[in-house]
Amino acid sequence: MWTNGKRGKDELDDESLNRFSDELLRASEAGEAEILTAAASPFLYRRIRVRIEAEEQRLAQQRGAWLSMLYGVKHAIPALLAFAVVALASLIMTPSLSQQWPAAGVGNEEPPTLMLDVFSFSQDEMIASAAGVETGQPGNGGGTK
């Protein structure tokens, strides 16, 4: 039945097992009637249609979500642009202010006063005020140069 040499035995084994494997494969085949029964299964097409419609609905919802997001983004663009302009303007303004008072808060110098021009009095005005001379405007005449 089996040859003595290991190689020969393996070859014979392989040959027999291959034939047995082919038989296994053939045995696994379905009959024509079975194939037809599965193909002609009732409501098979209907189930396919239902699944297709469900999938189409899902895809439409997905597309809808994307579109609504894009719509929202489209409406937000002017607001975002305005915000960007404001941000840019303030960015440009910031260095000019720091240039105006470069040493603000450093050392012994006084901190800058923004309304200095409005409420400060010149020396002439102080003298005129002390002497009771009007500078043209009725009232106390303060606050203008």
Whole-angstrom CA distances from 97 to 83, 91, 93 are 21, 11, 6
Structure tokens at 69: 């997001």
- Contact assessment for residue 143 and residue 118, using Cβ atoms and an 8 Å cutoff: yes
Q: How far is CA 15 from the centre of its chain?
A: 63
Question: Footprint of another protein on residues 18-47 (CB under 8 A)?
Answer: 18-30, 34-41, 44-45, 47
Q: Is 114 in the site for another protein (CB under 8 A)?
A: no
Considering beta carbons, is residue 59 or 133 the nearer one to another protein?
59
Q: Is 14 in the site for another protein (CB under 8 A)?
A: yes
Q: Which DSSP category does 114 fall into?
A: T
- CA-derived radius of gyration, the chain: 48
Min. distance of Cβ 88 from another protein in angstroms? 46
Tell which one of 1, 33, 91, 131 touches another protein (CB under 8 A).
Answer: 1
Structure tokens at 140: 């106390």
- Contact assessment for residue 122 and residue 116, using Cβ atoms and an 8 Å cutoff: no
Tell which one of 5, 16, 65, 67 touches another protein (CB under 8 A).
Answer: 16
Min. distance of Cβ 66 from another protein in angstroms? 18
Q: Is 60 in the site for another protein (CB under 8 A)?
A: no
Q: Is 99 in the site for another protein (CB under 8 A)?
A: no
Residues near another protein, by CB under 8 A: 1, 12-30, 34-41, 44-45, 47-49, 51-52, 55
